[in-house]
């Protein structure tokens, strides 16, 4: 029989180990990306020329990652840094305010926009009956990954605890939710595509069909997952090169090599 004081001691110990494991999770991302590194990556995000100025705070980014403890915390330090660089590069391309001769270069203008300017449609796929659109709502690009379409707003909201179909606007109004939608997209496998996370941590295993389509691992495959239908299988695509430019800059700031397969020029998009 254990002594009561010994039991108390055990309870005390396990309480502290639980507490410290929470603290480890909460600080995982801050160890890789400090506030000053974040600020030097996104030099112009709070420029008054940027519609999103004041929105994408470091605190919101860190808070959002708490919901996805595996982000940037799997594998070697090199793998973790590369995943974070890749994620930040992709959201930068999606929200960039840069141009070729912009101050500090085109890759210093990530996180400038929070909402798609003059959307071409309301991004309603009415054939999707699982996530039906509301007629007075529009599912255009919002937030760091520019979440679009009812079939993404619906499941993102379901996973994160908001009503993506009735209240898509929240993705442009709440910066923690905004970052969470980007991380949700990054971490979630949507068959037949793997998740960007699995690709960047080296967990992705191409099928025969993937191999035949040159869909091998690397940053280029995350571009294929995000927008391959429009950007991949094209020689020297400017959008693909913009994504690569951000990735190379951030990998440099995070002190890690980029790994192979940066582009998706020779890849076929996913079906
Ligand atoms: C939008 O549509 C929903 C569902 O049809 C309805 O509940 C809501 O009142 C509508 N809002 C506006 C502003 O028309
Ligand atoms: C979001 O902000 C816009 C203005 O930027 C406002 O019109 C809208 O009502 C807000 N929506 C929510 C859900 O807070
Ligand atoms: C795969 O890549 C090679 C070049 O490395 C290219 O010749 C071939 O056409 C590509 N296959 C497909 C299906 O695009």
H or E segment and range at residue 113? none
- Tokens representing 180 are 């969470």
213 in ligand 3 pocket by Cβ < 6 Å?
A: yes
Q: Which CATH class is domain 30-113+189-271?
A: mainly alpha
Give the tokens for residue 161. Answer: 């605890």
Cα–Cα separations (whole angstroms), residue 102 to 89, 110, 144: 17, 12, 20
Query: How far is the C-alpha of 113 from the C-alpha of 108, rounded, in Å?
Result: 13
Q: How far apart are CA 63 and CA 232, in angstroms?
A: 33
pLDDT (tens digit, 9 = 90+) per residue, 187-216?
999 999 999 999 999 999 999 999 999 999
Pocket flag, ligand 3, residue 266 (CB < 6 Å) = yes
Pocket test for ligand 3, best of 211, 213, 214 (most atoms within 8 A of CB): 214
* Residue range 115-174, CATH number: 3.30.20.10
Q: Return the pLDDT at 28.
A: 83
- What residue segments make up the domains of the chain, in order of their start? 30-113+189-271, 115-174
CA of 162 to the centre of ligand 1 (A): 17
134 CB under 6 A from ligand 1? yes
83 is catalytic: no
pLDDT by residue (tens digit) across 36-68? 999 999 999 999 999 999 999 999 999 999 999
Cα separation of 259 and 219, whole Å?
8
170 Cα to the center of ligand 2, angstroms = 7
pLDDT per residue over 71-111, tens digit each? 999 999 999 999 999 999 999 999 999 999 999 999 999 99
Q: What is the pLDDT of residues 18-35, one digit of tens each?
A: 555 444 444 589 999 999
């Amino acid at each position: 029989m254990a002594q009561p004081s010994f039991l108390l001691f055990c309870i005390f110990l396990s309480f502290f180990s639980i507490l410290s494991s929470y603290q480890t999770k909460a600080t995982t991302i801050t160890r890789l990306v400090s506030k000053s590194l974040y600020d030097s990556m996104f030099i112009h995000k709070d420029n008054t020329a940027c519609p999103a100025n004041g929105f994408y705070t470091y605190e919101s980014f860190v808070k959002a990652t708490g919901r996805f403890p595996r982000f940037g915390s799997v594998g070697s330090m090199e793998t973790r840094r590369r995943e974070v660089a890749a994620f930040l590069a992709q959201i930068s391309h999606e929200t960039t305010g840069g141009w070729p001769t912009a101050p500090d270069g085109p890759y210093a203008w990530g996180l400038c926009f929070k909402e798609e300017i003059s959307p071409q449609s309301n991004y309603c796929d009415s054939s999707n009956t699982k996530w039906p659109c509301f007629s007075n709502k529009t599912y255009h690009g919002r937030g760091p990954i520019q979440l679009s379409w009812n079939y993404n707003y619906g499941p993102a909201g379901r996973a994160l605890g908001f009503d993506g179909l009735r209240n898509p606007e929240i993705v442009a109004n709440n910066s923690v939710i905004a970052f969470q939608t980007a991380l949700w997209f990054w971490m979630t496998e949507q068959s037949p595509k793997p998740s960007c996370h699995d690709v960047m941590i080296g967990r992705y295993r191409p099928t025969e069909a993937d191999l035949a389509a040159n869909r091998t691992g690397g940053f280029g495959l995350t571009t294929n997952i995000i927008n391959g239908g429009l950007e991949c299988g094209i020689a020297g695509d400017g959008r693909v090169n913009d994504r690569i430019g951000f990735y190379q800059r951030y990998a440099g700031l995070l002190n890690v090599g980029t790994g192979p397969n940066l582009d998706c020029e020779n890849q076929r998009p996913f079906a």
